[in-house]
Amino acid sequence: MVGWVLRLLVVLGLLGSAWVHLVVWLDWARDTAVVGPLFLVNVVAGVVIAIGVLAWRHWLPALAAVGFGAATLLAYVLSLTVGFFGVQEQFRTQAELWGVITEAACIVFGIALLFVREGRRT
């Protein structure tokens, strides 16, 4: 039961991050040379990893979710501090807040899922 709750929380984090990146891409990022395509990669990766977390009871999708959340959060921190491929953020929008929340969820709940035994065969 705990495993499925964690799985659901990881999936919600992944899909939430994908949604935020799609909204931001539609808003302004599609016109940005490097960051625009990276936002679309984030959208697709979030959905694909979410499907993996739901469909495959293995440690690899959970690890992918942690890596996804960490890489995306790191890119955002870089955009707040030194800039990320010419994009300089200032943490002032709802999308930025939800992005941080969903990516932190991927990391926290993904790590927890890595340590839960669900009777899986690995």
What is the per-residue pLDDT across 70-118, written as a single tens digit (0 to 9) for each? 999 999 989 888 877 777 777 788 888 999 999 999 999 999 999 997 6
DSSP annotation of 32: S
Residue 10 near residue 109, CB atoms below 8 Å: yes
Question: What contacts 24+ positions apart, CB below 8 Å, involve 31-36?
Answer: 32/85, 32/86, 32/87, 33/85, 33/86, 34/85, 34/86, 35/84, 35/85, 35/86, 35/87
Q: Where are the domains of the chain?
A: 2-114
Q: What is the pLDDT of residue 42?
A: 96
pTM: 0.90
What is the per-residue pLDDT across 28-75, written as a single tens digit (0 to 9) for each? 888 988 988 999 999 999 999 999 999 999 999 999 999 999 999 999
